[in-house]
Every structure is written in C-alpha cells, then in structure tokens.
Amino acid sequence: MAILVVDDDRTMQTLISAFLSRHGYEVLTAVDAIETLRVLSSHTPELIILDIMMPGINGVELCRALRTRPDTSRTPIIIMSSLNDPFTRENCLLAGANTFLNKQDLPTLPEVMRKIFGTGKLRPHQRSDRTLRDQA
C-alpha cells in the first residue's frame, strides 16, 4: 500500500515517512502541490497525508482540489499540521479531509488510519467516505 506524504518541511517529511515505513507502508513524498500532481500522474496512493502550511497552494486548498479529481475524489486524506485551533480543524474537514491530526500526535497515526479504513489492518482498495472528527 502506498501513502503519499506532502510536506515542504523535509525533516518532518522524513520523520513521517520513516514512521510509516517502520509500520510496513510504502511511502511516496512531495513538497508542494505541483510535485503532488506529478506523483499522482504515475502513482495511485491509498492514502494522502497533507501539511497545511506550504508554499503556493496550501494543504487545505490542495485537499479541495484533490476532491474534485476523479482519481483522488475518494482517496482518504489526513491533514496533519502543527496548527491546532478549532477553526483550522473545521476548515480542514470542510475542505474534504477525512480527519485532522496534530503533528505532535504522530504516534497515533496508525490508529487514525485504521479508523479511516474501518479495519484493524489497512488493505488496498478498501476505502471509506466517512468523515471522522477528532475530539478536541
């Protein structure tokens, strides 16, 4: 299963990627919206993790754009950011993210992923349209 991690902070991108790799996932990376579209032209990830604060198109706008594309309209999206106020969280969900996760909560990512896919183990082509709202 491939997971696309989009974050312009290379240190954070490496940290998230290493964490996912240790849990057995294939990780694709991009640093901005343009690179995300390049990756999506040749790969179909089963999950996309977006940062909010990126140059050019931010993660919330990118999430909205991904929801309009036939190939990513149903792909689960987690927006992961150091921003953690109620307005930001709600804005991410309204943009089409399945859930919002604070970057400090990285260790809970596998649990969040299981909730999104509704199973104890992630399997390719098993998707959910449910919107999960984190308890603040």
Domains of the chain: 2-117 (3.40.50.2300)
pLDDT cut 70: percent of the chain above it:
87
Whether the pLDDT of residue 125 is over 70: the answer is no
Distance CA 48, CA 128 (A): 13
pLDDT category at 35 given cuts 50, 70, 90 is very high
Residue 75 CB contacts under 8 Å (≥ 6 apart), including other chains: 45, 46, 47, 48, 66, 127
